[in-house]
Amino acid sequence: MLFLADESATIDFARRLLSKMPQDLAGWTVLLSGELGAGKSTFARALIRAAGHEGPVPSPTYTLVEPYLLPRSTIYHIDLYRVSDEEELRYLGWEELDDGLRLVEWPDRAPGLSAQADLALTLAYESTGRRAELRGLSERGEALMRDFDLP
């Protein structure tokens, strides 16, 4: 459990998490949960920028997937807010997005996802900041957690 006092703490946390991940992020899946405004997109944007993307990181709410082909690794920023089941997930080409990191907002829209994911970050409102809980879901996700000494 980690308290993120303000937006810059969320950004710093995203940078730290990326620094613990392998250079090649192919096949990794990170789930970002939390209610409206909890900071999922702030976290995703910070991680994408930390991986070398310069410029805007538009919301994938309507496009569902925004790809970033970065020298380090491809990152797919995915927003399932408008998705209602696993069938739609197949339709958006989920299976083909395995050559990069899948960073998924609103993963609970497709409940089967947690079985395929490596890490789950849950953000919640706490006073004027946010509380962050990071969990390892796969073996390599758990290994990363052990290596990640949260204060």
Nearer Cβ to ligand ATP (4/78) = 4
- Long-range contacts, stretch 60-66, CB < 8 angstroms, 24+ apart: 60/105, 64/92, 65/92, 65/93, 65/97
Q: Which of 10, 29, 33, 41 binds Mg ion (CB under 5 A)?
A: 41
In what helix (H) or strand (E) does residue 27 lie, and over which residues does it extend? none
For the CB of residue 80, give the shortest distance to ligand ATP in the complex, in Å: 11
Nearer Cβ to ligand ATP (102/130) = 130
For the CB of residue 11, give the shortest distance to Mg ion in the complex, in Å: 14
For the CB of residue 128, give the shortest distance to ligand ATP in the complex, in Å: 6
Nearer Cβ to Mg ion (39/141) = 39
Contacted entry of ligand ATP, Mg ion, none for residue 107, CB cut-off 5 to 8 Å set by kind: none
d(CA 58, CA 9): 21
Q: Which amino acid is at 51?
A: A
Q: What is the DSSP letter of 136?
A: E
